[in-house]
């Protein structure tokens, strides 16, 4: 049987690192994102299929479901935002946008893929992305912290609801060097200070989270569900020596 995995955000920093790893391991991939040329190039390289669209557009999910109707071993939702501002500078549209892209989009993606995930005879695995900011308080993170907190709640609820056939886990990264974090890391001094704020003294690499996602998709994690796994250089729960 074809080993098929669906990755929303498959052309992004973490999504692309994961797609390359899974493809090398013999998985067939379906990728989703907004940028047609980025997806086309990667799909060509990995012999994958893809759908172009925005997770804020409800129609995207049914289009993806139509494209992926066979058994699906895994679904990864690696789409997100980092919109950091003081509380007073967020509008209600900003809050709703962050919630839609990070949390409601993940729920809609799982709903649409459920028939295909249920067809996987040996069971399926869903991997979502929360954040260190849903576990520890950081200034200016009100909107993304709230949205990623919702992802953690979604992970627990669906892990309970979909067991035993479908496992649901989330990864909670700290700052990881991807296009999403580019603006925060554009100043070398700031990037260096942020790296040093991690007990393991570096920023995340896309492969750090991608390796965890590959593990959560694999048979090796077949007794793990309902977990929010920190991939954060120790930033979420350690004080460090300084
Ligand atoms: N990087 C970090 O520091 C960090 C920290 C904590 C949590 N995370 C989480 O980790 C996950 C992966 O992040 P990343 O760093 O790999 O981000 P990234 O490099 O920006 O990649 C995001 C991917 O999602 C797609 N995407 C973005 N907005 C979309 C939308 N509205 N509709 C459809 N596709 C959309 C992007 O492609 P297009 O632009 O083509 O649409 C891209 O493929 C996210 O959930 C993020 O919140 C990251």
Query: Is the residue at 236 inside a domain?
Result: no
Q: What is the pTM of this model?
A: 0.98
193 lies in some domain: yes
Per-residue tokens: 186: 């554009």
Q: Which ligand 1 atom is nearest residue 33's CA?
A: 34
Residue 80 in any domain: the answer is yes
Residues spanned by the domain of 74: 4-231
Q: Backbone dihedral region of 35: left (phi > 0), alpha (psi from -120 to 50 degrees) or beta?
A: beta
Ligand 1 contact via 135 beta carbon (within 6 Å): no
Q: What is the pLDDT of residue 2?
A: 73
- Kindly state whether residue 241 falls inside one of the protein's structural domains: no
Ligand 1 touching residue 33 (CB < 6 A): yes
Q: Which of 103, 109, 180 to mutate to test the pocket of ligand 1 (most atoms within 8 A of CB)?
A: 180
Whether the CB of 105 sits within 6 Å of ligand 1: no
In a domain, 240, yes or no: no
Ligand 1 atom having least distance to the Cα of 39: 40
pLDDT in tens, 155-209: 999 999 999 999 999 999 999 999 999 999 999 999 999 999 999 999 999 999 9
Q: Which atom of ligand 1 is nearest to the CA of 203?
A: 3
State both tokens at 95.
């809050």
- Sequence-distant (6+) residues with CB within 8 A of 50 are 10, 30, 31, 32, 33, 39, 40, 42, 43
For residue range 122-144, list pLDDT tens digits in order: 999 999 999 999 999 999 999 99
CA distance 99 to 146: 8
Tell whether 203 is covered by a domain: yes
Compute the distance from residue 115 Cα to the ligand 1 centre, in Å. 25
Ligand 1 nearest-atom number relative to CA 129: 45
CATH code of 226's domain: 3.40.50.720
pLDDT for 16-61, tens place per residue?
Answer: 999 999 999 999 999 999 999 999 999 999 999 999 999 999 999 9
Among protein residues, the one with the nearest Cα to ligand 1's atom 34 is 33
């Amino acid at each position: 049987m074809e080993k098929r995995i669906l990755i929303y955000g498959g052309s992004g920093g973490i999504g692309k690192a994961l797609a390359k790893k899974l493809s090398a391991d013999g998985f067939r991939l379906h990728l989703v994102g907004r940028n047609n040329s980025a997806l086309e190039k990667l799909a060509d390289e990995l012999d994958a299929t893809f759908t172009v669209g925005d997770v804020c557009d409800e129609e995207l999910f049914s289009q993806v479901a139509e494209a992926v109707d066979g058994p699906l071993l895994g679904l990864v939702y690696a789409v997100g935002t980092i919109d950091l501002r003081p509380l007073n500078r967020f509008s209600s549209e900003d809050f709703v946008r962050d919630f839609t892209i990070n949390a409601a989009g993940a729920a809609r993606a799982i709903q649409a893929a459920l028939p295909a995930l249920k067809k996987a005879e040996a069971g399926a695995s869903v991997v979502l992305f929360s954040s260190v900011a849903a576990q520890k308080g950081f200034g200016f993170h009100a909107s993304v912290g709230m949205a990623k907190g919702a992802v953690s709640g979604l992970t627990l609820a669906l892990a309970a609801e979909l067991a035993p056939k479908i496992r649901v886990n989330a990864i909670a990264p700290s700052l990881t060097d991807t296009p999403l974090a580019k603006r925060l890391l554009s100043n070398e001094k700031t990037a260096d200070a942020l790296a040093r704020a991690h007990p393991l003294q570096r920023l995340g690499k896309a492969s750090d989270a991608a390796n965890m996602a590959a593990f959560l998709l694999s048979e090796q994690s077949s007794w793990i569900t309902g977990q929010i796994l920190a991939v954060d250089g120790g930033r979420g729960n350690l004080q460090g020596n300084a």
